[in-house]
A and B are shown apart, each in its own frame.
Chain A
């Protein structure tokens, strides 16, 4: 298990390296608005744009190695953009934003807690709602609860999250004169009530919205498991129904459900960006969003790699938890 974990972790830098290269190619070579003129704003002179290009090294070659020139038709560049970026990264320097020249690392540390909280809370909601409703739906197959749960799954994959978040802002304000707080993050240890007033409603929406896939998968897996012989044996032994369903049924459905939990995380990660944007929560998602809008390439670059990092780690945790729930799983 340890060896397996280490080997998987050894892949991490390689994956991040690949993702960072792809992000660099997408961000710096695709035809689009020139970042320097985007920074300079409208009506900037050519000199101003040239100066920004020079300061930020935007006209330097992108990769340290490129094709061209004379034989052997490979050129190396000492001051390439990617070389500089990755050189700083391995030394723990995440670079500076184009807009305001602030260190990305400081900004990241300041904005991460809000995002972590909303992702974590939504994730918990998602797991609880998805798995429990999935089980109920399977156990009472074709009953009222089952139809309710399936209807909910179809509806929640059709009603967009941004619509629900918009309703969250307007409906309580219109009907009950209660306004959902917007912006103004307070850490939960400083003022739990204010913190939860800001985070609990969107976390509920994102979590419930992201649970549809998990619910469907839990239902199908449980339906299959509940048909098997050992469930009949367990019932015949006279075990409590809850023991049969949870200890015998759920545990044997663990592997696909865990995979679906991993996918639910991906959905929630996207949803949290929308929530931060709609409710002006100053987290990583809003930062990602506003930086993409003003073409702040280093921030977008960093957050893309960060997203890949989170995805790889979550996948690793999911893979490792297979063995914890299902001792038959062997890692090698």
Chain B
């Protein structure tokens, strides 16, 4: 910055070499993370989540669906770290397997909801006018309404299964994504680099894609993180309530619901699925919070 204030006169060779050298990018990227150990924990959980979502079904120590009358209600042990269900199924294997459903649900919410919403938000923040107004007002109306009744209404219309929940979560993500990125785009469009890019004769599309988009990428990651947190919670909650997955399918929420029936005698049936859900959601929340803190210290501690 100090150099820029000297005006447009070219720097002498000596000046240039006196400037502090930048640390390698990997060091610059890593430093704020090392100052936020909780963010690192979140990152580790999120990586675990995706790893499980991809390879979980192939690394289950036992078949998550296999019925075994001889191993019903085994408490946690070396063979069954999380115990076994009423049907003798290994809960640990079912949890590993269940990551897939949550991940696919989250990805669906992101692809159908968040990404279009983010695009809309950037466009409406950047170009403004009536489309901005329309999106923001409908978003406000949507968030004013409790989500669960909407989910119940849509589930009543399209029947049980994950189809209804995906629609509702995706609509929520459209509005959530558009609101977050609209705010970012509003700030970004007045920045100097946008003006600079325009003054070189770049078209609006080029400015948006090659200049604005890379600058707001981290905010998109923040949004994605929270979409996943919401989606995992919603899938688990709806399956728990009997509106999502069918009974018998290995999934976190549905296993908790089934376990609750025998939970007073065998609490581990409820505790382990619950902890798995909580830890995964916590991971995404911690990651999102840390990303936001690193990006914009002014937003620290806000929702």
Contacts and interface: CB of A to CB of B under 8 A. Distances in A.
Whether both chains belong to one complex is answered with yes
Interface of A: 23, 26-28, 30-33, 150, 154-155, 157-160, 162-163, 166-167, 169-171, 173-174, 179, 213, 216-217, 219-220, 223, 263, 266-267, 269-270, 273-274, 277-278, 288-289, 291-293, 295-297, 300, 303-304, 307-308, 311, 315
Interface of B: 143-149, 152-160, 229, 233, 236-237, 240-243, 253, 256, 260, 263-265, 267, 270-271, 274, 277-278, 281-282, 285-286, 289, 301-303
A154 B289 contact: yes
Contacts of B270: 163, 166-167, 170
B157 A270 contact: no
B255 to A, nearest CB: 11
A27 B260 contact: no
B168 to A, nearest CB: 10
Nearest to A155: B282
A158 B243 contact: no
Most chain A beta-carbon neighbours within 10 Å: one of B149, B267, B289, B302: B149
B125 to A, nearest CB: 22
Given A160-B237, A163-B277, A300-B152, 13 more contacts: A30-B158, A150-B301, A154-B286, A158-B229, A160-B277, A162-B236, A163-B278, A169-B260, A170-B263, A263-B143, A266-B145, A293-B242, A307-B146
B285 A311 contact: no
A300 B153 contact: yes
A150 B285 CA distance: 13
B286 A300 contact: no
A187 B207 CA distance: 64
B148 A26 contact: no
Contacts of B155: 292-293
A30 B264 contact: no
A130 B30 CA distance: 34
Nearest to A296: B156
Chain B contact surface mostly: helix
Nearest to A295: B156
Contacts of A157: 229, 281, 285
A159 B256 contact: no
27 contacts: A30-B158, A154-B285, A157-B285, A158-B282, A158-B285, A159-B278, A160-B237, A162-B236, A162-B240, A166-B270, A174-B265, A213-B303, A216-B302, A263-B143, A266-B145, A266-B146, A267-B146, A273-B152, A289-B152, A292-B152, A292-B156, A293-B160, A300-B152, A303-B149, A308-B145, A311-B146, A315-B144
B120 to A, nearest CB: 20
A148 to B, nearest CB: 14
A32 B263 contact: no
B156 to A, nearest CB: 4
B149 A307 contact: yes
B153 A292 contact: yes
Contacts of B263: 166, 169-170
A160 B236 contact: yes
B277 A274 contact: no
A223 B132 CA distance: 31
Contacts of B149: 269-270, 273, 288, 303-304, 307
Contacts of B281: 157-160
A173 B267 CA distance: 10
A33 B157 CA distance: 8
Contact of B260 (A166, A217, A293, A296): A166
Nearest to A216: B303
Contact of B256 (A32, A162, A288): A162
10 smallest beta-carbon distances between A and B, as pairs: A163-B274, A270-B148, A158-B282, A170-B263, A292-B156, A292-B152, A32-B158, A173-B264, A30-B157, A158-B281
Contacts of A155: 282
A9 B196 CA distance: 50
Most chain B beta-carbon neighbours within 10 Å: one of A158, A173, A291, A315: A158
Nearest to A315: B144
B234 to A, nearest CB: 10
A172 B1 CA distance: 62
Nearest to A31: B158
Nearest to B149: A307
